[in-house]
C-alpha cells in the first residue's frame, strides 16, 4: 500500500464514469483512503460509484457546485502523506501511480508532474505540446529530477498562460502542501494553473519524463485550459505573487535578478497581449489569414516568443545544478 489518498470530484459525470472506474480498479487497492466529493449530481453519478467502486476506506461528501472549492473540500479530509486528484475521464496505470509516489519519496519533493497521453472522446490519440515538454527538453531530463526553485520560476514565467502543472490527474502532491495552499477559486476552470504560478518558488517540484496516464479532452476544455481572453491576467498573477515571495523570503531580489526576472515578466506580458489579440481575431467572421493586421500581430508575437526563449535559456544558465535525481 502507498501513503496515498485519492480525491474524486464529480458533478453529473455519468458519461465518463465507466471509463473512469475501469481505470481506477487496477490500482485503487494501493491507496490508503478514497474521498469522493460530489456537487449535487442528478444523473446517478453517486449511485453508480457506490455500486461499482469499492474500497476499504471510502468517504462520500457533498459540496455545492464550484470546481476548486469542491476539490479543496475533499482534500481537507485526506490524511495520507500524498494526494492524487482523480478527475473523471482521466486514467493512470498502476505502475504510473506507484512511480509518482516513489519519485516523491525518493526526491523528497512536494509536487511530481508528468505528461499524459491525450485522447479525444472517440479514443483517438491527439498530439498536444505542454509546458512540461519544454522543461524536459530544455533541461535534458531523462530520469525523474527535482527542479531548483529558480528553474521552476523561469518555466512559470515562460508558460504563464499554459499551466506548469498540466493535468492534476498525471501528478502527485504532498497533501500538507495543498492543504496549506488551497487551489484558488477565482480563476474559473484554471485554478490549478494559477496555483502553480502563485506558489512556483514555494514548492519543491520534480519532473518525470515517463508517461503513464491518459488525459481525456472534454468538449468544454479542449487543449487550451487557460482561456486566451484571460491571458493578460496570468502575468499579473506572477507580478503580485513576486511581492509576496520577497516579503516571505521564498526568493530574494538577488535570485530574481540572476534569472532576469523583470525582463522575463515584461517579455511574457508582451507575448500574452499579442497572443490574446491574435486569438481574438481567429474567432471573428473574416478568417485571420485574410487580414494584414493579423499577420503583423502574428509576426510580433513570434518575435517576442523568441526573445522570451532566449531569456529562458539565459535564466537557466544561472541556476544551480539539479539538487537531486533518480537513476
**Structure confidence by residue, pLDDT tens digits, 136-172:** 999 999 999 999 999 999 999 999 888 889 888 999 9
Q: What is the pLDDT of residues 34-86, one digit of tens each?
A: 999 999 999 999 999 999 999 999 999 999 999 999 999 999 999 999 999 99
pLDDT class for 224, splitting at 50, 70, 90? very low
Pair 78, 134 in one domain: yes
Say how far apart CA 174 and CA 5 lie, in whole Å.
10
Say how far apart CA 71 and CA 73 lie, in whole Å.
5
Query: How do strand 58-62 and strand 33-38 relate by DSSP bridges?
Result: parallel
Q: Is the residue at 288 inside a domain?
A: yes
Q: Is the residue at 325 inside a domain?
A: no
For residues 59 and 77, is the Cβ–Cβ distance under 8 A? Answer: yes
Of 224, 256, 287, the domain-final residue: 224
Of 192, 224, 256, the domain-final residue: 224
Q: How far is CA 138 from CA 129, 142, 181, in A?
A: 14, 11, 28
Could you tell me if residue 172 is left (phi over 0), alpha (psi between -120 and 50 degrees) or otherwise beta?
Answer: beta
Pair 163, 274 in one domain: no
Pair 101, 45 in one domain: yes
Q: Is the pLDDT of residue 280 over 90?
A: no
Q: Is the pLDDT of residue 229 over 80?
A: no
Q: Is the residue at 323 inside a domain?
A: no
Range(s) of the domain holding residue 106: 4-224
**Angle, CA 176 vertex, CA 9 and CA 32 arms, to 5°:** 60
The pTM (predicted TM-score) of the whole model is 0.89
Q: Is the residue at 72 inside a domain?
A: yes
Q: Which three cell numbers stand for residue 32?
A: 490508503
Amino acid at each position: 500500500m502507498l501513503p496515498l489518498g485519492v480525491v474524486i470530484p464529480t458533478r453529473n459525470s455519468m458519461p465518463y464514469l465507466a471509463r473512469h472506474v475501469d481505470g481506477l480498479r487496477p490500482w485503487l487497492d494501493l491507496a490508503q483512503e478514497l474521498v469522493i466529493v460530489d456537487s449535487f449530481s442528478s444523473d446517478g453519478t453517486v449511485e453508480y460509484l457506490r455500486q461499482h467502486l469499492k474500497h476499504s476506506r471510502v468517504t462520500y461528501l457533498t459540496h455545492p457546485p464550484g470546481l476548486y472549492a469542491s476539490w479543496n473540500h475533499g482534500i481537507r479530509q485526506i490524511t495520507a502523506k500524498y494526494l492524487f486528484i482523480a478527475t473523471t475521464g482521466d486514467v493512470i496505470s498502476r505502475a504510473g501511480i506507484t512511480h509518482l509516489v516513489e519519485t516523491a519519496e525518493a526526491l523528497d519533493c512536494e509536487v511530481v508532474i508528468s505528461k499524459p497521453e491525450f485522447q479525444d472522446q472517440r479514443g483517438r490519440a491527439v498530439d498536444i505540446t505542454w509546458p512540461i515538454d519544454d522543461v524536459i527538453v530544455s533541461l535534458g531530463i531523462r530520469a525523474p529530477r527535482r527542479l531548483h526553485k529558480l528553474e521552476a520560476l523561469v518555466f512559470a514565467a515562460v508558460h504563464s498562460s499554459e499551466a506548469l502543472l498540466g493535468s492534476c490527474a498525471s501528478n502527485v502532491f504532498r497533501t500538507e502542501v495543498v492543504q496549506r495552499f488551497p487551489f484558488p477559486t477565482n480563476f474559473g476552470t484554471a485554478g490549478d494553473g494559477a496555483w502553480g504560478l502563485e506558489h512556483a518558488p514555494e514548492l519543491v517540484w520534480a519532473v518525470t519524463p515517463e508517461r503513464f496516464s491518459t488525459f481525456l479532452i472534454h468538449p468544454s476544455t479542449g487543449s487550451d485550459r487557460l482561456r486566451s481572453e484571460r491571458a493578460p491576467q496570468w502575468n499579473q498573477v506572477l507580478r503580485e505573487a513576486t511581492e509576496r515571495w520577497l516579503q516571505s523570503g521564498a526568493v530574494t531580489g538577488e535570485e530574481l535578478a540572476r534569472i532576469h526576472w523583470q525582463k522575463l515578466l515584461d517579455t511574457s506580458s508582451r507575448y500574452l497581449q499579442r497572443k490574446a489579440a491574435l486569438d481574438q481575431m481567429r474567432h471573428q467572421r473574416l478568417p485571420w489569414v485574410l487580414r494584414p493586421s493579423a499577420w503583423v500581430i502574428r509576426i510580433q508575437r513570434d518575435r517576442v516568443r523568441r526573445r522570451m526563449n532566449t531569456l529562458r535559456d539565459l535564466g537557466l544558465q544561472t541556476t544551480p545544478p539539479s539538487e537531486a535525481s533518480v537513476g
